[in-house]
Amino acid sequence: MNPTDTAAPEAASRRVAIVTGGSRGIGRAVAERLAREGLVVAVNHASDSGSARETVEAITAAGGRAIALRADVADEHAVAAVFDRVRDEFGGVDVVVHCAGRLALSPIADLDLDVLDAVLRTNVRGTFVVAQQAARRLRAGGSFVAFSTSVVATRFPAYGAYAAGKGAVEAITLILARELRGRDITVNTVAPGPTATDLFLDGKTEEQIEALAKAPPLERLGTPGDIAHVVAFLTSAQGHWVNGQVLRANGGMI
């Protein structure tokens, strides 16, 4: 783990969040939104230290507090070290938002099984590892939010590996919500529809993007900000009665 530190020690009363995959896309939007809500944010990234630094700089420029911490979410020792660092620096963890993920598109018949293993390592094992640490470390009143995909319900072709992994994410988090009974900790999963991120747009033609934008009744792609609003609600006091749910934030798709 190679931390990039720009934060001073915080008062114990300030809420603290860890956002995995926080260097780009939805993860960055979530990190910046939570910082605007007054949380100290630890921005986790796997390799893109430059983008993680940009996220931290954007947060600090707006008057927030953030640090960047590098860790592969599927590596339990690296993830534990992130939680240790945040505890030591800020006193504890109140919110964990697990945005990190990997996408591979291919018909099931043609998918390289090494690619399948890589997708499942990040999306299933990674979710389990982060959820495990969150279950052990979150303070009372806290929240864990994971990410699935609306493709679990829409069943678009070529998304077999991705949807399989995200189906596992939904199972993991819904069970965790029940396991944390009595702890005053919420566990939910957000399942976005088509959202204009680099991960989503990469490799798609203009025609494919237009067709996907027309799929929701609202007839547009979602934005990272749309999803960040949902996460901000779920991790707020106002959203604390929502627990053990999969919220399909997709503009009205299935």
Predicted confidence (pLDDT) per residue in 44-83, tens digit: 999 989 999 999 999 999 999 999 999 999 999 999 999 9
Nearest to 162 by CA among 236, 96, 111, 219: 111
| 159 included as an active-site residue | no
In 3D, which of 156, 177, 149 has the Cα closest to residue 245? Answer: 177
Average pLDDT for the chain: 94
What is the distance, to the nearest Å, from the Cα of residue 192 to the centroid of all Cα atoms in its chain?
11
Structure tokens at 24: 């780009």
Lowest-confidence pick of 12-21, 59-68, 169-178, 235-244: 12-21
Report the CATH number of the 16-196+224-247 domain: 3.40.50.720
Strand order in the sheet with 40-45: 66-70, 40-45, 16-20, 93-98, 138-147, 186-190, 245-247
* Per annotation, catalytic residue among 124, 162, 224, 234: 162
Model pLDDT for residues 97-140, shown as the tens digit of each residue: 999 999 999 999 999 999 999 999 999 999 999 999 999 999 99
**Rounded CA Rg of the chain:** 17
Compute the average pLDDT of residues 73-94.
Answer: 98
Measure the CA–CA gap between 86 and 208, rounded to whole angstroms: 41
Given a contact cutoff of 8 angstroms between Cβ atoms, the answer to whether 97 and 130 are in contact is no
How far lies 219's CA from each of 73, 85, 203, 252, 253, in Å? 34, 43, 21, 9, 10
Q: How many CB atoms lie within 10 A of CB 49?
A: 14
**pLDDT tens digits along 155-190:** 999 999 999 999 999 999 999 999 999 999 999 999
Cα–Cα distance, 44 to 28 (Å, whole number): 10
Sequence-distant (≥ 6) Cβ neighbours of residue 84 within 8 angstroms: none
Q: Nearest CA to 147 among 208, 195, 217, 94?
A: 195
Q: What is the pLDDT of residue 198?
A: 83
Residue 11 pLDDT: 44
pLDDT of 201 strictly over 90 = no
CB 100 within 8 A of CB 44: yes
- What pLDDT shows up at residue 199? 77
pLDDT band at 2 (very low <50, low <70, confident <90, very high): very low
Closest by CA to 102, choosing from 81, 134, 127, is: 127
> Mean pLDDT across the stretch 195-215?
89
Query: Angle CA(118)–CA(149)–CA(196) in degrees, nearest 5?
Result: 95
Q: How confident is the model at residue 6 (pLDDT cuts 50, 70, 90)?
A: very low
pTM of the model: 0.93
Cα separation of 6 and 148, whole Å? 31
Query: Rounded mean pLDDT of 34-41?
Result: 98
Q: Is the pLDDT of residue 3 over 80?
A: no
